[in-house]
Structures are given as structure tokens and as C-alpha cells.
Amino acid sequence: MHVSHPWKYIGRELEARNWKQKEFADVIWISAPALNAIIKWEKNLTASLSVRIWEAFWTSAEVWMRLQIRYSIEQAKNNERERVSDVHKKLKKYWLKDFSLLVDEDIEKELKE
């Protein structure tokens, strides 16, 4: 599953509205270089910034934060595969003999992907 960084959508919105990054940065109270770093996916969206974007675009802050959360979780899944596998080994070692007891039945399938 590919999940895009929320700033992909911010960039699209700026283009659609013909807004310049420097002006938008000023509107949402960040520096132009900081906005540029965010649009390049080098920084993540914060709750405070999502509220300011909400006001600028007349959208909802929750939409922007949900996009960030989905992206962050997907990145963590990709980066933590080895550790997650080790967690499962340790669960089996100490307590859990049957993974079917877990609430998420797809956990084993997810690890194999």
C-alpha cells in the first residue's frame, strides 16, 4: 500500500490556487525554507500547522493530520519490519503460543508482505 505524504496534497493545492510558496509560508506563519523542506517531505506536519492550513484552505485540520498519521504509520511499518518480527518471536517465547488469540488476525500476513 502506497500512502503519500500530506505535503503532496499541499503542493497540489498551492498549484491549483496559483499561490506562491513564499506567500503561503507567510500566511501559515512559517519560513519559506521551512515550507520548502516540508513540501520535499523532509519534515512532518504538526497539529499546530494543520490548524493553520485548515484556516488557509478552509478544510479541516483533522484531514491533514489523518494524512500525516497514515503516512507516518506506513513509514514505520516499512522501517520496523525486523523489530516487529522480533517482537512476535518474543511474544511466543514468553506468553503467546497461538497468534490467533491476537485481535488483529492479519498480523502474520502483514509481516510476510
Q: Which domains does the chain have, with CATH numbers?
A: 6-79 (1.10.260.40), 81-112 (no CATH)
* DSSP state for residue 85 in the 8-state scheme: H
> Which pLDDT score, from 0 to 100, does residue 103 have?
57
Kindly report, residue by residue over 3-54, the tens digit of the pLDDT: 788 888 888 889 999 999 899 999 999 999 988 888 787 888 899 999 999 9
Kindly report, residue by residue over 59-85, the tens digit of the pLDDT: 888 988 998 999 899 889 888 888 877
> Which pLDDT score, from 0 to 100, does residue 110 have?
64
Kindly report, residue by residue over 82-103, the tens digit of the pLDDT: 887 788 788 777 776 665 555 5
- Angle among Cα 46, 47, 52 to the nearest 5 degrees reads 95
Closest by CA position to 8, among listed 78, 70, 100: 70
The rounded distance, in Å, linking the Cα atoms of 66 and 60 is 10
The rounded distance, in Å, linking the Cα atoms of 76 and 60 is 25
Amino acid at the residue 24: F
